[in-house]
Amino acid sequence: MGRRADTAADSEAVLLTPTAPDPLRLTHPTSTMITWGAVGLGYSLIGGTFRRLTIPAEIATLLPGAAIVWYALRPATDRFPAPDAAINRRTTLPWAVLAVAFGIWELYAAARGSTHAHPTLSILLGPLIDPPPARAAGYVAWLLAGVWVVRR
Amino acid sequence: MSPRAITVTGYVVIGAAALLVEVVARRPGSRVPTFSQLLSHVIHEKWGRVGMLLAWWWLGFHFLSRS
């Protein structure tokens, strides 16, 4: 009886414990990957047609954003195991310096009004990502980045 | 040099420096983590994961919807 209870508990624990997912291998796509890839591509092409600063454009990023954040934070979502090698914080100094430098540069441009003379990065990139194909490519890149975060 | 050129140059310098750090990090025996390793490490902390997701969400909203 006790053994049966242990077995049932073990089975339940196995079901509830997140397991490491298979890596996404583009050379060996599964039907699920192809389906979600097609959905993401279609969504990106449609999202790319929405003009910026409109409600459809905002919904186009809010909805998948909410879905991916919810999916990523679910306890049952499969994740890769943590990296083996711990990172020494001192070795991350170059990245920290770059992040601070970028933040200061952005804040400086924003404080100067984010004008033509002092553009923030988004103002600078605005004309480049304005055409629908470029916006669609932006959606593809953004969604892929979201999937990467979920899978890590 | 115009203020705009100076601002753009600043972004280019920061981008080039990031590229340089990445190249250095990928050299054999380097102690500096690559950008991917750094993000993977941050993401495996609970609040790092939450922060990274919110940052990703904001980037999409800002660049694709609002910029």
**Residue B44 at interface with chain A, using a CB cutoff of 8 Å:** yes
Write out pLDDT tens, residues A45-101. Answer: 998 899 888 899 899 999 999 998 888 888 877 776 666 667 888 889 999 999 999
B16 and B43 share one domain: no
Band (B26; pLDDT cuts 50, 70, 90): very high
Task: Give the per-residue SS3 of chain A.
Answer: CHHHHHHHHHHHHHHHCCCCCCCCCCCCCCHHHHHHHHHHHHHHHHHCCCCCCCHHHHHHHHHHHHHHHHHHHCCCCCCCCCCCCCCCHHHHHHHHHHHHHHHHHHHHHHHCCCCCCCCCHHHHHCCCCCCHHHHHHHHHHHHHHHHHHHHC
Q: Where are the domains of chain A?
A: 34-80+92-151
Domain region containing B22: 1-31
B2 and B24 share one domain: yes
pLDDT of residue A28 exceeding 60: yes
ipTM above 0.90, yes or no: no
pLDDT at B66: 74
B27 and B37 share one domain: no
* List of chain A residues whose C-beta atoms are within 8 Å of the C-beta of residue B59: 142
**Residue A40 at interface with chain B, using a CB cutoff of 8 Å:** no
The domain tally of chain B equals 2
Say if the Cβ atoms of A65 and B14 lie within 8 Å: no
- Average pLDDT of chain B? 90
Say if the Cβ atoms of A122 and B67 lie within 8 Å: yes
* Residue in A with minimal Cα distance to B56: A146
